[in-house]
């Protein structure tokens, strides 16, 4: 079975479209699937939409937390809640073109333990505002340098994992927030899991006025994550 997690905090504008799109894209893969809406701390009615989607579709489960858990913890709980052969997650705004979804899943079927899209590999087409693009490129370059890590895009919300990687690495990750994406990749590399990255088409969907505050908050969270993970792996 394919377990697909969708992190959703204040995603009332995107959640319904995301789930209905997945309900169309997943069946052609020829395998049972289950979608887990990992919804935490929403104040815009996302929880109510998630409840209705759960009632409508037997393949959808809504995990609700009244307080914000952070992306990493929300995904950890979603993956731990279901037994699957392949685990995946996608951002609720569907910034990555869903025509790449079959490739994401099939990359794990073909023997890779972690598959992810990339906005920065040759052949990728990413439409992104400079305020987010430049810091992201700097961050990814820094991670590659510090951890001798070949992955070019750690933060993209378009990843899939093998069952054995999830069982081995998921609960070893300390990050509960945005750094989780980077941490699970680095820990997978250090555990010699097979990783494949491929170029995708990606379009910025979040162009609101809180972008700068978000960039600062994520940057500080990532800095703390880098320092902590570096200490752990150097022991």
Q: What are phi and psi of 195, to 5 degrees?
A: -125, 140
- Considering the candidates 85, 133, 181, 208, report the single residue annotated as catalytic: 181
135, two tokens: 């810091």
Q: What are phi and psi of 199, to 5 degrees?
A: -70, 145
Computed on alpha carbons and rounded to an integer, the radius of gyration of the chain in Å comes to 17
CB 214 within 8 A of CB 135: no
Tokens 């895009």 map to which residue? Answer: 153
Q: Is 97 a catalytic residue?
A: no
233, two tokens: 């792996």
Rounded CA-CA distance 27/19 in Å is 13
CB 61 within 8 A of CB 34: yes
- Which residue from 65, 2, 67, 66 is spatially nearest to 38, judged by alpha carbons? 65
- For 167, residues 6+ apart whose C-beta sits below 8 A from its C-beta are none
Rounded CA-CA distance 2/72 in Å is 19
In this structure, are strands 86-90 and 158-162 parallel, antiparallel, or unpaired? antiparallel
Catalytic residues: 181
């Amino acid at each position: 079975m394919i377990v697909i997690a969708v992190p959703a905090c204040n995603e009332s504008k995107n959640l319904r479209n995301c789930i209905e799109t997945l309900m169309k894209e997943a069946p052609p893969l020829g395998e049972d699937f289950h979608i887990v809406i990992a919804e935490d701390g929403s104040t815009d009615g996302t929880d109510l939409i998630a409840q209705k989607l759960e009632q409508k579709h037997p393949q959808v489960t809504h995990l609700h937390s009244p307080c914000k858990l952070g992306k990493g913890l929300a995904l950890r709980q979603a993956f731990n809640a279901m037994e699957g052969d392949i685990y995946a997650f996608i951002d609720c705004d569907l910034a990555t073109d869903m025509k790449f979804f079959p490739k994401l899943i099939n990359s794990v079927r073909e023997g890779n333990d972690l598959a992810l899209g990339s906005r920065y590999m040759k052949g990728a087409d990413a439409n992104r505002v400079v305020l987010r693009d430049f810091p992201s490129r700097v961050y990814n370059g820094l991670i590659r340098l510090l951890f001798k890590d070949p992955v070019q895009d750690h933060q993209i919300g378009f990843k899939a994992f093998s069952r054995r990687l999830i069982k081995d690495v998921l609960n070893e990750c300390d990050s509960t927030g945005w750094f989780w994406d980077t941490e699970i990749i680095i820990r997978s590399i250090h555990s010699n899991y097979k990783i494949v990255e491929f170029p995708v088409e990606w379009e910025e969907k979040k162009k609101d006025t809180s972008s700068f505050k978000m960039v600062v908050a994520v940057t500080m969270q990532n800095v703390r994550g880098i320092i902590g993970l570096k200490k752990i792996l150097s022991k």
